[in-house]
Amino acid sequence: MKATFLVKAALGLLLSVSSSPAIATAAAAGHTAPSSSSARTTDSAIFQPPPVFKNINLVHNINLERSYAKETVNVVVENVSNEPQSEYYVPFTASQMERLGGFEVKDRKKGDALVFGAEPAEGDPDSNLQYYRITLPTVLAPGEQQTLGITYYFLKAYNPLPASIGQDDDQFLQYSLSAYWPSAYKTDKQKTEVKCGSSGVLDYSKLSSLPKEDDKKDTPQQPVVRGSSLTYGPFTDLPAGVSLPANVRYEYTKPISHMAMLDRDVEISHWGGNIAFEERYELHNLGANLTNLFDRARWARSQYIKPTTYALKEMRFPLHAGSVDAYYTDVVGNVSTSRFRMGKRESMLEVRPRYPVFGGWRYPFTIGWNADAGLYVRQTATGGHVLAIPFIEGPKQSEGVAYESVTLRVILPEGAENVRFHTNLPPSSIVLTALESHSTFLDTIGRPIVVIRARNLVDEHRDREVWVSYEVPLNAQLRKPLVVFVSALAGFVVWIAVARVEVRFRRKV
Q: Sorting pLDDT into bands at 50, 70 and 90, what band is 298?
A: confident
Phi and psi at residue 388, to the nearest 5° = -130, 115
Does residue 193 sit in the same domain as residue 261? no
Please give the order of strands across the beta sheet that includes 465-471.
Answer: 377-379, 385-390, 465-471, 417-423
Q: Tens digit of pLDDT for each residue in 204-241?
A: 888 865 444 444 445 567 888 888 899 998 999 999 98
pLDDT of residue 24: 34
Q: How far is CA 200 from CA 157, 173, 197, 359, 418, in A?
A: 19, 11, 8, 20, 56
373 exposed, middle or buried (CB, 10 Å; 0-12, 13-18, 19+)?
A: middle
pLDDT of residue 4: 45
DSSP summary character for residue 507: P
In a domain, 487, yes or no: no
pLDDT average, residue stretch 482-496: 82
Closest by Cα among 190, 96, 108, 197 to 152: 96
In a domain, 506, yes or no: no
Phi and psi at residue 29, to the nearest 5° = -75, -15
Asked if residue 109 has pLDDT above 70, the reply is yes
pTM for this predicted structure? 0.83
In a domain, 485, yes or no: no
Number of domains in the chain: 2
In a domain, 508, yes or no: no
DSSP summary character for residue 360: T
pLDDT of residue 475: 64
pLDDT of residue 11: 39
pLDDT average, residue stretch 9-17: 39
The DSSP result for 447-468, as a single string, is EEEEEEEEEEEEGGGTT-EEEE
Does residue 266 sit in the same domain as residue 162? no
Which parts of 85-128 are beta strand (E)?
85-93, 100-107, 115-120
> 425 with 457: CB under 8 angstroms?
yes
Q: How far is CA 348 from CA 29, 46, 325, 352, 466, in A?
A: 54, 52, 12, 13, 22
pLDDT of residue 28: 32
Number of continuous H segments (helices) and E segments (strands) in the chain = 4, 32
Q: Tens digit of pLDDT for each residue in 176-203?
A: 999 999 999 999 999 999 999 777 788 8
pLDDT of residue 509: 60
Does residue 296 sit in the same domain as residue 404? yes
Q: Where are the alpha helices (DSSP H) in 72-220?
A: 94-99
Does residue 238 sit in the same domain as residue 264? no
**Of 251, 273, 299, which residue is a domain's last?**
251
> 203 with 141: CB under 8 angstroms?
no
pLDDT of residue 131: 92
* Residue 104 CB contacts under 8 Å (≥ 6 apart), including other chains: 115, 118, 150, 151, 152, 426, 428
Three-class SS of 381-401 = CCCCEEEEEECCCCCCCCCCE
CATH of the domain at 143: 2.60.40.1730
> 357 with 311: CB under 8 angstroms?
yes
User: Could you count the other beta carbons within 10 Å of the beta carbon of residue 29?
Assistant: 21
Asked if residue 128 has pLDDT above 60, the reply is yes
Beta-bridge mates of residue 194: 62, 230
Does residue 180 sit in the same domain as residue 265? no
Q: Sorting pLDDT into bands at 50, 70 and 90, what band is 2?
A: very low
Does residue 112 sit in the same domain as residue 193? yes
Range with the poorest average pLDDT among 128-137, 273-282, 293-302, 308-317: 293-302
User: Could you count the other beta carbons within 10 Å of the beta carbon of residue 232?
Assistant: 25
CA distance 134 to 91: 11
Q: Compute, in degrees rounded to 10, the torsion defined by CA atoms 392, 323, 395, 330.
A: -100
3-state secondary structure of 234: strand
pLDDT of residue 142: 93
Average pLDDT value for the chain: 84
Does a cis peptide bond (omega within 30 degrees of 0) precede residue 223? yes
pLDDT of residue 31: 39
pLDDT of residue 477: 65
With a pLDDT cut of 90, the percent of the chain lying above it is 56
> 295 with 342: CB under 8 angstroms?
no
DSSP summary character for residue 508: P
* Residue 137 CB contacts under 8 Å (≥ 6 apart), including other chains: 107, 114, 116
pLDDT of residue 296: 85
Beta-bridge mates of residue 172: 251
Does residue 179 sit in the same domain as residue 153? yes
Report the first-to-last Cα separation within the chain, whole angstroms: 98
Q: Tens digit of pLDDT for each residue in 245-295?
A: 999 999 998 999 999 999 999 999 888 889 999 999 999 999 999 998 888
112 exposed, middle or buried (CB, 10 Å; 0-12, 13-18, 19+)?
A: exposed
Does residue 9 sit in the same domain as residue 108? yes
HSE-up of 402 (CA within 13 Å, CB side)? 29
In a domain, 237, yes or no: yes
Q: Sorting pLDDT into bands at 50, 70 and 90, what band is 76?
A: very high
pLDDT of residue 214: 44
In a domain, 486, yes or no: no
In a domain, 176, yes or no: yes
Does residue 147 sit in the same domain as residue 224? yes
**Of 236, 251, 266, which residue is a domain's last?**
251
Q: Tens digit of pLDDT for each residue in 349-402?
A: 999 999 999 999 999 999 999 999 999 999 888 889 999 999 999 999 989 999
Q: Tens digit of pLDDT for each residue in 35-69?
A: 333 444 444 456 788 999 999 999 999 999 999 99
Higher pLDDT, 347 or 6: 347
In a domain, 505, yes or no: no
Q: Tens digit of pLDDT for each residue in 404-419?
A: 999 999 999 888 889 9
pLDDT average, residue stretch 134-143: 92
Rg of the chain on CA atoms, in Å: 29
CA distance 457 to 480: 38
Does residue 431 sit in the same domain as residue 468? yes
Q: Which domain holds residue 82?
A: 2-211+218-251
Does residue 292 sit in the same domain as residue 433? yes
Does residue 243 sit in the same domain as residue 280? no
CA distance 402 to 284: 10
Continuous segment of H or E residues that includes residue 475? helix 474-500
pLDDT average, residue stretch 330-339: 91
